[in-house]
Amino acid sequence: MKNPENSDSIISFLKENGFSKSQLERVVKTNPHLFSASLEKTIKPKIKIFQDLGFSANDIVEIISNAPTFLHRSADNRVTPSLSVLKSLFGSSLEVAKVLKRSGWFLMNHLEKTMVPNIEIFKSLGVGMEQIIKHIYNFPRFLLYIPNDMKKIVKKVDEMGTCRSSKMFIHVVRVVSSMKDENWELKLKHFSNLGFLEDDIFKMFKKAPLMFSVSQRKLKNVKEFLLATGKYDISCIVSHPMPFLCSLEKKIKPRMQVLGILEIRNLIGKWPSLSTITCNVK
């Protein structure tokens, strides 16, 4: 801190606006340069923007604590436009605050040049806004790709044969976007080593893209357990890959044990499909 008086003024101001000791420590650790910034020109104007838009004091504190670096961004060229985009999507300051508390990346990017064009890309592909909004909330950085890069990812997914009208389309795009080429090839190798043909791997991936985030050990254990029952073969797993996303010990094994008991008592003639076994019971 080059100017102790300036640093003290900033700390006092933040305390007055509801920052706790632990939150101040987090800000110092994350962005020590903040305390050499201008209180009047850099910090106060950004906080006022949030106040004017109706954000609560607690939400403002939490947003800044989680991502204080955005305070160095231009109020007119970055912060205000980004908040405007988010509010147009989520409708209220309360909902925008929920998103920003999950990720401050939205205030660090030109949303008009990244997220807005990417939303239009997915809308043009038939993806509904409800799905898009869920992805913005659950996977904040997904729609912040350069639009041309997003188009390349979509093209790659198209080449895999994924149907654009499928509800899984945006999920497939997201998973592909999150993986480097070498990681993608490694996952393909893992499934190949488990006895799956390339076409079958792509069929499963399009139905359950998150299976590519599952460890090789779990994939192997689930596959071997299902085959060991004698009730399911590789083709059953290809048609219904969701077991790879379920807990083997907490979900699959207990349900299989129940089916075994029902079969012994002649209460069932045929075991249900894997999709039925892995569905959530309400």
Separation CA 84–CA 114 (nearest Å): 14
Q: pLDDT (tens digit, 9 = 90+) per residue, 222-261?
A: 999 999 999 999 999 999 999 999 999 999 999 999 999 9
Q: pLDDT (tens digit, 9 = 90+) per residue, 5-46?
A: 888 999 999 999 999 999 999 998 988 888 888 999 999 999
DSSP type of residue 280:
P
219-245 per-residue burial string, b: 16 or more CB within 10 A, e: under 16: beebbeebeeeebbeeebbbebbbbbb
- Total length of the chain: 282
Asked if residue 33 lies in contact with residue 9, where contact means CB atoms within 8 angstroms, the answer is no
Q: For residue 277, give the nearest of 234, 235, 220, 231 by alpha carbon.
A: 231
Asked if residue 147 lies in contact with residue 117, where contact means CB atoms within 8 angstroms, the answer is yes
Asked if residue 280 lies in contact with residue 243, where contact means CB atoms within 8 angstroms, the answer is no
Q: For residue 150, give the nearest of 126, 173, 181 by alpha carbon.
A: 173
Asked if residue 125 lies in contact with residue 155, where contact means CB atoms within 8 angstroms, the answer is no
pLDDT of 1 over the 50 cut: no
**What does pLDDT average to over the chain?**
93
Q: Two tokens at 220?
A: 């192997």
Specify the pTM: 0.84
Q: pLDDT (tens digit, 9 = 90+) per residue, 72-118?
A: 999 999 999 999 999 999 999 999 999 999 999 999 999 999 999 99
Asked if residue 220 lies in contact with residue 194, where contact means CB atoms within 8 angstroms, the answer is yes
The region, left, alpha or beta by phi > 0 then psi within -120 to 50, assigned to residue 218 is alpha
